[in-house]
């Protein structure tokens, strides 16, 4: 009997050791967040093995997740979940997972109200991990409410771009009116309105995407600090205009002036994208120690992280004089090529159009004079620029082309179309 109990105890101890060995770890495991608004925090999970990340939740209380491992949220105390549009996390490094935790203002408000009612000012971010034939694991990051001072991580919560003082502003995930101007015209000033938490050094650069350049992806537009350490420095680079390096104290708002307007190219007709690129900066509050989670030996500083791609500014050279001819917000219009344009020999036709609210897909249609469909392309709603394939010129022959863009809803139903524009490809 004694041998039985000794054997059972040994097996139990070995099981506990195996469980600890397979335990998913996180760094940092405790962070401060702004009590009166949004905050972005960079965390790294390590020792994932065969586990993969699942859903998340914020809650006021946690409890043992038995029969799963770790601590899960107590029902009735859940404040919210990570919005899908802010989920830019991915696998990284050595068996690790990078999570950019965007704490919404609504979650901070609920936690603040609970603290004001006498509950603990600490709340929890819980992510579930699942694996084939494995018990689920719940990993907890504790979050403490704080003011918007040096104790809060240096993170970006909103970025807006604008031309001059009178044109539209591009908030994160949105775009303003398109600026139109004739070749050689002077550009208006550019500015960025930035909301942030904590304090730190804002470093980065302004770049421009010229007509014919490959378009940046959403991953390219993320601040560098939102990427796993091995992806930093790998984002697509475009024509540089100027750099900036300023220290932001704990004020929460800053207006960053854009590059010298005389440096913005306006000679060649076409569509241009002005990009704000923000680099990672040192921030002891917003950092992950990879050695703690078994994912490396370095500390990943993530000052100026954000849970969203940075917005872009568009301007079109050869599309009218100044912003008075720009389409009003909500109008679904073709931008490029202008009606009646002839694309010179040796150049590829580039199509661009304005945003259609509620569109889930765009379908570009190109027909010949007889109405025969020569080419079509279906594009995601974030993509409103398309370069025609090189073989289109041969297929089109010497006749005119007629093109339009159709906006589709979630079910594939047509909800809007642009006018048909005429285009000729010089041979």
pLDDT of residue 417: 92
Confidence check: pLDDT of 18 > 50: no
402 neighbors 339 (Cβ within 8 angstroms): no
Burial of 171 (0-12, 13-18, 19+ CB in 10 A): middle
pLDDT recorded at residue 149: 80
CA 256 to chain centre: 20
The answer to whether 203 touches 245, Cβ cutoff 8 Å, is: yes
**Separation of alpha carbons 367 and 420, rounded Å:** 10
**Residue 130 pLDDT greater than 90, yes or no:** yes
Cα separations in angstroms, 113 against 37, 118, 299, 421: 13, 9, 34, 56
Parallel, antiparallel or unpaired: strands 190-197 and 253-257: antiparallel
Residue 239's H or E segment, with its range, is: strand 239-248
Average pLDDT in the 411-426 region?
89
Check residue 412 and report its DSSP letter. Answer: S
- Determine which of 21-25, 320-324, 329-333, 390-394 has the lowest per-residue pLDDT on average: 320-324
Please give the share of the chain, as a percent, with pLDDT higher than 90: 50
Q: Is the pLDDT of residue 403 over 90?
A: yes
Is the confidence at residue 398, as pLDDT, over 80?
A: no
Per-residue pLDDT band for 14 (boundaries 50, 70, 90) equals: very low
Average pLDDT for 160-176: 60
Cα dihedral sign, 106-224-259-250: positive
Answer yes or no: is pLDDT of 291 > 60. yes
| Rounded CA separation 386/106 (Å) | 38
Q: Tell me, what's the pLDDT at 3? A: 42
**pLDDT score of 319:** 54
Residue 347: Cβ within 10 Å count:
13
- Cα Rg, the chain, nearest whole Å: 26
pLDDT at 167 over 90: no
The per-residue pLDDT of the chain, averaged, comes to 84
Query: What pLDDT, on the 0 to 100 scale, is given for residue 108?
Result: 94
Per-residue pLDDT tens over the stretch 27-59:
999 999 999 999 999 999 999 989 999 999 999
Question: pLDDT class for 141, splitting at 50, 70, 90?
Answer: very high
* 427, pLDDT greater than 90: no
Residue 327 confidence (pLDDT) above 80: no
Find the mean pLDDT for residues 239-261.
Answer: 94
Please, are residues 15 and 51 in contact by the beta-carbon 8 Å criterion? no
SS3 call for 146: strand
Query: What is the 8-class DSSP label of residue 86?
Result: G
- Greater confidence (391 vs 226) lies with 226
Distances (CA, A) of 52 to 59, 155, 302: 22, 26, 23
The domains located in the chain, with CATH, are 21-146 (2.60.40.10), 155-316 (2.60.40), 328-425 (2.60.40.10)
Q: Span 313-341, mean pLDDT?
A: 67
**Residue 110: pLDDT band with limits 50, 70, 90:** very high
Q: Residue 165: what pLDDT?
A: 55
| pLDDT: which is higher, 337 or 75 | 75
**How far apart, in whole angstroms, are the C-alpha atoms of residue 135 and residue 326?**
57
| pLDDT for the residue numbered 406 | 94
pLDDT interval class at 177 (50, 70, 90)? low
Residue 425: partners with Cβ closer than 8 Å, 6 or more residues away: 342, 343, 349, 392, 393, 396, 401
Answer whether residue 222 shows pLDDT above 90.
Answer: yes
More confident residue, 352 or 106: 106
User: Does pLDDT of 128 surpass 90?
Assistant: yes
Neighbours of 26 (CB within 10 A): 22
């Amino acid at each position: 009997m004694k041998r039985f109990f000794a054997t059972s105890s040994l097996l139990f101890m070995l099981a506990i050791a195996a469980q600890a060995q397979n335990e998913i770890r996180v760094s940092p495991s405790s962070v401060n967040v702004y009590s009166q608004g949004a905050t972005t925090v960079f965390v790294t999970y390590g020792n994932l093995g065969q586990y993969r990340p699942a859903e998340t939740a914020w809650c006021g209380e946690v409890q043992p997740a038995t029969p799963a491992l770790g601590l899960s949220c107590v029902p009735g105390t859940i404040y919210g979940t990570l919005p899908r549009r802010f989920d830019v996390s991915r696998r990284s490094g050595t068996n690790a997972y990078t999570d950019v935790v965007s704490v919404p203002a609504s979650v901070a408000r609920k936690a603040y109200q609970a603290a004001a009612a006498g509950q603990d000012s600490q709340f929890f971010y819980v992510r579930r991990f699942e694996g084939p034939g494995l018990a689920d694991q719940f990993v907890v990051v504790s979050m403490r409410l704080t003011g918007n001072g040096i104790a809060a991580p240096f993170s970006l919560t909103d970025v807006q771009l604008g031309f001059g003082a009178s044109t539209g502003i591009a908030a994160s995930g949105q775009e303003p009116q398109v600026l139109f101007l004739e070749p050689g015209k002077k550009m208006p000033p550019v500015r960025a309105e930035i909301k942030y938490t904590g304090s730190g050094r804002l470093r980065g650069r302004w770049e421009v995407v010229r007509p014919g350049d490959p378009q940046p992806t959403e991953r390219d537009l993320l601040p560098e600090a939102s990427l796993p350490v091995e992806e930093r420095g790998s984002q697509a680079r475009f024509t540089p205009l100027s750099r900036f390096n300023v220290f932001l104290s704990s004020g929460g708002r800053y207006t960053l002036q854009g590059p010298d307007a005389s440096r913005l190219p306006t000679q060649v007709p076409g569509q241009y994208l002005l990009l704000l690129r923000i680099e990672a900066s040192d921030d002891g509050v917003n950092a992950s120690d990879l050695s703690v989670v078994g994912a490396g030996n370095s500390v990943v500083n993530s000052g100026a992280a954000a849970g969203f791609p940075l917005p872009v500014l568009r301007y079109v050279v050869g599309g009218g004089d100044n912003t008075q001819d720009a389409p009003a917000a909500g109008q679904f219009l073709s931008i490029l090529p202008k009606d009646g344009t002839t694309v010179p020999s040796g150049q590829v036709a580039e199509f661009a159009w304005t945003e259609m609210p509620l569109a889930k897909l765009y379908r570009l249609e190109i027909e010949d004079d007889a109405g025969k469909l020569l080419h079509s392309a279906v594009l995601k709603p974030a993509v409103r620029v398309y370069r025609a394939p090189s073989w289109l010129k041969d297929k089109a022959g010497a006749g005119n082309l007629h093109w339009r863009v159709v906006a589709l809803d979630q079910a594939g139903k047509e909800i809007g179309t642009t006018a048909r524009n005429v285009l000729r490809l010089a041979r």
